[in-house]
Chain A
Amino acid sequence: MYSHTNILYSMTSSPSPRVALFVTCLVDVCRPSVAFAALHLLEASGARVSVVQNQTCCGQIAYNAGDRNSAISIAKHTIKLFDHVDYIVAPSGSCAAMLKLHIPELLKKNPKEEENAKIFAKKCWELTDFLVQVQKFHLQSKPSSSSKEIIAYHDSCSGLRELNIHHQPRLLLEAYHKTPVSPPDNQRCCGFGGSFCVTCSDVSAKMADDKIDAVHNTQAQRLVGGDLGCLLHIAGRMQRKNIPLKVDHIAEILSRSLGPHPHVPTTGIA
């Protein structure tokens, strides 16, 4: 297990950046294969990747629920853990936006903490953003796969509107797999919204149905996105309605196109 990346580890020399993979709580619990896929991609792009065992969650759950004090203490806990790396990369737009934008805002009342938070925030990236902007991974590709399936790409709201993540996953998919299509629904929210999907469950399901219709209209056979929350929500809704559409996290589909996965098999989300 994992032998392929051992080679990559030994090949990395000093200029390669030290990257900590930020394992989001949803990925950790629900879909470890996304984290393994992200490791695979980061290493293939030439980074030295580590995992911080004591990391927990970015604190977004507390922050979006109005529990600011908890979000602040979780933010302080998180910042301390990542001193030793050049970059912190999360396979999620919403967690990356929390780390990069909201944590500095949470700690702005204390100048020392704010300064630390800003240094920390500068090191934080969303996975596809990091692969494209820092590693230029889309330029390192072999010829893209001959797959004929149509892929629809779902832009998650936090990534799209807070971190401007739109072209990065598309560049990577074009380079390693094939050009995805965008659902024709004005990039409308799928209705996940963290705890929103359980507190306003009916509205959330209606929003998922609208999204599923928009994806269906693209004739796509596979839905790909960058945030596990949205994907679990959409895939779960489709399973309930017996709609057979494959769903993948962007890390999983890209990792598969690099060749056999060295860690655990990525079966996709649905």
Chain B
Amino acid sequence: MSAQTKHLGFIKNSQTSTKNQSLAQAMSLLDAGLMLKRKKAVNAVENYQELRTRATAIRQHTLEHLDVYLDMFAQNAAKNGSVVHFCETASQAQSTILKLCKTYNAKNIVKGKSMVTEEIQLNDLLAQNNIQALETDLGEYLVQIRKETPSHILAPAIHITQKEAENTFRTHHTSRNPDRTFSAPEDLVNEAREEIREHYFNAEIGITGANFLIASEGSSVIVTNEGNGDLSQHIPPVHIVVSSIDKIVPDMPDMLALLRVLGRSATGQEMSVYTTLSSGTKRQNDPDGPQTSHIIILDNGRSDLLQQEETSHMLRCIRCSACINHCPVYRASGGHAYDSPYVGPMGIIVSPALSSLHTHKDLPFASSLCGTCVEVCPVSIPLTKLIRFSREQTFAQRLNPVSSRPFLIAFQFIALRPSLYRLISSCAAFFLALLPKKQHRLSHIPFLKGWFAHRNFPQSQRQTFQSLWKQYQKSKSSS
């Protein structure tokens, strides 16, 4: 386990990560990168809002009939020769996959990118059982050889600068010329390709995720840019898709409608380089394909989100990462601060649902509620509303960070009593005027350090408006 999986909570983690200069440098590339690309791609479509409305409606409809479409998918997948395993919990999914590995006597696995496998910490489990699972996506590979965890659902190595990536390759790929130069990111891609290629042919099992599961076809869809996912699912004799209940779409036209917003929202591409349907086992005339196909469909707390109207919207998520890319908090803290494979605004809602609010009690507060995520979400998830809702749950379960509870109780008491409110606010104005010149001295005082650790308080005006206003009214009536 890496240092990042210690679960110190977002607030503690971000105290360290905000001081990390190379992280800041890596994250600053988001502006001209994913953010600008999305903007251009969205502006290039005249009827983008219509696409968004359609995508939202498709996702909402699917969730409302999820049981029907899951059944339909299972039946059609069976017709294609796939074995479908519904798993309620992460540990059920783990043991199912482990059993399959034993059945097929697997020692080497190649993996395409899959967030659900991160969610169930599959690589750790396989390693404990002496099964080597090699990540084949460049970012995932980089993170794996650095013994880190992904810091973004789409760009797992976004926290690593180009220079750091080069150094990692130099130290890890020891059989290569140590004086080689990397002039462009493509050089990293090519080197990783060469390192990984032979593993596809030695692997007994290929594991991939799925961007969508198409109910009418029983097929899974992956969207990639490097082609590694295709090799992972075509070459090894056994293919395991690890997915979750919320990835279901009714049919092909619906899937295509979602693809139109997915690529644009994620990477600013009209479509990703590869969009691949995987439909069970190799048929007689197919040039390639697996002899055996298994599809794991995980719940792991997702159906709990469906139970409440407020949280059910979250299951519309198509994991495009637009909310993450545009989140100023994520940009400042980096993804590892979230103690979860799911980060940014979507992670704030998804992570507690998959484990518990208690484990992630800081997360509801890891947002300034600025609302940029709501603006860019292609399936109109009201993320700020959901974040506020999770704060309400945190408050109800008494999990608030920093003894805010007594403050809130006192605040309500005062706010409902106007004369007391005026008295307290006058005192506050008076004391603010007494602040010392050297305010950094207040940086370590409990209750005050939240503000004064990083800021001064601009000079106050000693009296409240209400008291100045009263004085004015008096002077007016006496004149």
Q: How many angstroms from the CA of A270 to the CA of B14 in the assembled complex?
A: 29
Q: How many angstroms from the CA of A270 to the CA of B415 in the assembled complex?
A: 29
Q: Which residue of A lies closest to B24 (CB)?
A: A206
Q: Quote the shortest CB–CB distance from B458 to chain A (angstroms).
A: 5
Q: Which residue of A lies closest to B405 (CB)?
A: A67
Q: Is the CB of A196 within 8 A of B369?
A: yes
Q: Quote the shortest CB–CB distance from B33 to chain A (angstroms).
A: 13
Q: How many angstroms from the CA of A33 to the CA of B465 in the assembled complex?
A: 8
Chain A residues, Cβ within 8 Å of B436: none
Q: Is the CB of B332 within 8 A of A203?
A: yes
**A98-148, CB < 8 A from B:** none
Is A236 located at the chain interface by the 8 A CB criterion? yes
Chain B residues, Cβ within 8 Å of A65: 391, 395, 400, 404, 408
Q: How many angstroms from the CA of A49 to the CA of B459 in the assembled complex?
A: 28
Q: Is the CB of A64 within 8 A of B458?
A: no
Q: Is the CB of B395 within 8 A of A77?
A: no
Is B86 located at the chain interface by the 8 A CB criterion? no
Q: How many angstroms from the CA of A235 to the CA of B458 in the assembled complex?
A: 7
Q: Which of B418, B422, B461 has the most CB of A within 10 A?
A: B461
Q: Is the CB of B454 within 8 A of A204?
A: yes
Is B440 located at the chain interface by the 8 A CB criterion? yes
Is B392 located at the chain interface by the 8 A CB criterion? yes
Comparing A23-31, A40-48, A82-90, A172-180, the segment that makes contact with chain B is: A23-31
Give the A-B pair count, Cβ closer than 8 A. Answer: 220
Q: How many angstroms from the CA of A53 to the CA of B464 in the assembled complex?
A: 12
Contact status of A210 and B465, CB under 8 A, knowing A56-B416, A201-B450, A269-B458 = no
Q: How many angstroms from the CA of A117 to the CA of B269 in the assembled complex?
A: 44
User: Chain A contact residues (Cβ within 8 angstroms of B): what range?
Assistant: 35 or more
Is A157 located at the chain interface by the 8 A CB criterion? yes
The interface bits of chain B over 228-259 (1 if a CB of A lies within 8 angstroms of the residue's CB, else 0) are 00000000000000000000000000000000
Q: Is the CB of A161 within 8 A of B372?
A: yes
Q: Quote the shortest CB–CB distance from A64 to chain B (angstroms).
A: 6
Q: Quote the shortest CB–CB distance from A66 to chain B (angstroms).
A: 3
Q: Which residue of A lies closest to B389 (CB)?
A: A66
Chain B residues, Cβ within 8 Å of A264: 461, 468
Q: Is the CB of B328 within 8 A of A191?
A: yes
The interface bits of chain A over 1-36 (1 if a CB of B lies within 8 angstroms of the residue's CB, else 0) are 110001000000000000000010101111111011
Chain A residues, Cβ within 8 Å of B128: none
Is B31 located at the chain interface by the 8 A CB criterion? yes
Q: How many angstroms from the CA of A254 to the CA of B26 in the assembled complex?
A: 40
Q: How many angstroms from the CA of A25 to the CA of B468 in the assembled complex?
A: 14
The interface bits of chain A over 192-218 (1 if a CB of B lies within 8 angstroms of the residue's CB, else 0) are 111111111111111110100000000
Chain A residues, Cβ within 8 Å of B126: none
Q: Quote the shortest CB–CB distance from B252 to chain A (angstroms).
A: 35
Contact status of A205 and B455, CB under 8 A, knowing A30-B432, A66-B393 = yes
Chain B residues, Cβ within 8 Å of A59: 415
Contact status of A200 and B366, CB under 8 A, knowing A62-B408, A73-B416 = yes
**B339-397, CB < 8 A from A:** 364-372, 374-375, 388, 390-396
Is B429 located at the chain interface by the 8 A CB criterion? yes
Chain A residues, Cβ within 8 Å of B18: 202-203, 205-206
Q: How many angstroms from the CA of A24 to the CA of B326 in the assembled complex?
A: 30
Chain B residues, Cβ within 8 Å of A233: 455
Q: Which residue of B lies closest to A162 (CB)?
A: B371
Is B414 located at the chain interface by the 8 A CB criterion? yes
Q: Quote the shortest CB–CB distance from A20 to chain B (angstroms).
A: 12
Chain B residues, Cβ within 8 Å of A219: none
Q: How many angstroms from the CA of A162 to the CA of B365 in the assembled complex?
A: 20
Q: How many angstroms from the CA of A57 to the CA of B414 in the assembled complex?
A: 10
Chain A residues, Cβ within 8 Å of B453: 201-202, 205
Chain A residues, Cβ within 8 Å of B326: 186
The interface bits of chain B over 316-337 (1 if a CB of A lies within 8 angstroms of the residue's CB, else 0) are 0000000000101101110000
Q: Is the CB of A53 within 8 A of B418?
A: yes
Is B466 located at the chain interface by the 8 A CB criterion? yes
- A56's partner among B421, B456, B469 (CB-CB below 8 A) is B421
Q: Is the CB of B476 within 8 A of A29?
A: no
Q: Which residue of B lies closest to A33 (CB)?
A: B461
Q: Quote the shortest CB–CB distance from B289 to chain A (angstroms).
A: 44
Q: Which residue of A lies closest to B431 (CB)?
A: A29
Q: Quote the shortest CB–CB distance from A156 to chain B (angstroms).
A: 9
Q: Which 10 A-B pairs have the closest CB atoms?
A: A193-B368, A198-B450, A66-B391, A236-B455, A66-B395, A205-B454, A189-B370, A70-B412, A32-B465, A157-B370
Pairs across A and B, CB under 8 Å, 27 listed: A28-B429, A28-B465, A29-B464, A32-B461, A33-B461, A53-B466, A57-B415, A62-B408, A62-B412, A63-B388, A66-B364, A66-B392, A66-B395, A66-B396, A70-B415, A157-B372, A161-B374, A188-B370, A191-B368, A195-B404, A197-B451, A200-B333, A201-B450, A205-B455, A206-B333, A207-B332, A236-B451
- A sample of 15 more A-B contacts (CB under 8 A), given A2-B475, A53-B466, A237-B455, is A28-B465, A28-B466, A29-B429, A32-B464, A53-B418, A54-B418, A62-B408, A62-B411, A186-B326, A199-B401, A199-B402, A202-B14, A207-B332, A232-B457, A247-B458
